[in-house]
Amino acid sequence: MSMRTRLAPALADTHLDGETKVTDRSAAPEGTGSIKVSGVGYGYPGVRTGQRVIDDLEFSVRPGEFVCIVGPSGCGKTTLLKLLSGLIAPEAGSILVNDEAVSGPPENLGFVFQDHGRALLPWRNAVRNVEFSLEAARVPRRRRKDMARDALRRVHLPDVENLYPAQMSGGMQQRLQIARALAATPSVLLMDEPFAALDALTRFALEDALLEVWQELGLTVVFVTHDLDEAIYLADRVIVLRRGPAHVVREVRVDLERPRDQGRTRAEKDFVALRYELFETIRTL
| Chain residues that interact with other proteins, rule: CB under 8 A | 82, 85-87, 104-105, 107, 109-111, 113, 117-119, 121-124, 132-133, 135-137, 164
Smallest gap from Cβ 248 to other proteins, in A, equals 24
Window of 69-77, 105-113, 126-134, 232-240 that interacts with ligand ATP by CB under 6 A: 69-77
Name the DSSP letter for residue 106: P
Smallest gap from Cβ 201 to other proteins, in A, equals 28
Name the DSSP letter for residue 102: -
In the list Mg ion, other proteins, ligand ATP, none, the entry touching 164 (Cβ below 5 to 8 angstroms by class) is other proteins
Cβ-based neighbour number of residue 268 at 10 Å: 15
**Cβ contact 71:77 at 8 Å:** yes
45 or 263, CB closer to ligand ATP?
45
265 binds Mg ion (CB under 5 A): no
In the list other proteins, Mg ion, ligand ATP, none, the entry touching 174 (Cβ below 5 to 8 angstroms by class) is none
Smallest gap from Cβ 173 to other proteins, in A, equals 13
78 binds Mg ion (CB under 5 A): yes
Phi and psi angles of residue 221, each rounded to the nearest 5 degrees, phi first: -120, 130
**Cβ contact 282:225 at 8 Å:** no
In the list ligand ATP, Mg ion, other proteins, none, the entry touching 279 (Cβ below 5 to 8 angstroms by class) is none
- Taken in order 131, 133, 138, 139, the sign of the CA dihedral is negative
Which residue in 185, 199, 221, 263 sits closest to 61, CA to CA? 221
Q: Which residues pair with 67 in a beta bridge?
A: 222, 237
47 binds ligand ATP (CB under 6 A): yes
In the list Mg ion, ligand ATP, other proteins, none, the entry touching 158 (Cβ below 5 to 8 angstroms by class) is none
Contacts of 90 (CB under 8 A, 6+ apart): 40, 41, 42, 83
In the list other proteins, ligand ATP, Mg ion, none, the entry touching 47 (Cβ below 5 to 8 angstroms by class) is ligand ATP
In the list Mg ion, other proteins, ligand ATP, none, the entry touching 74 (Cβ below 5 to 8 angstroms by class) is ligand ATP
Alpha helices in 49-113, H assignment, sequence order: 77-84
Which residue in 215, 221, 219 sits closest to 258, CA to CA? 215
Provide the CB-side half-sphere exposure for 132 (13 A, CA): 19
- List of residues contacting Mg ion (CB under 5 A): 78
- List of residues contacting ligand ATP (CB under 6 A): 44, 47, 53, 73-79
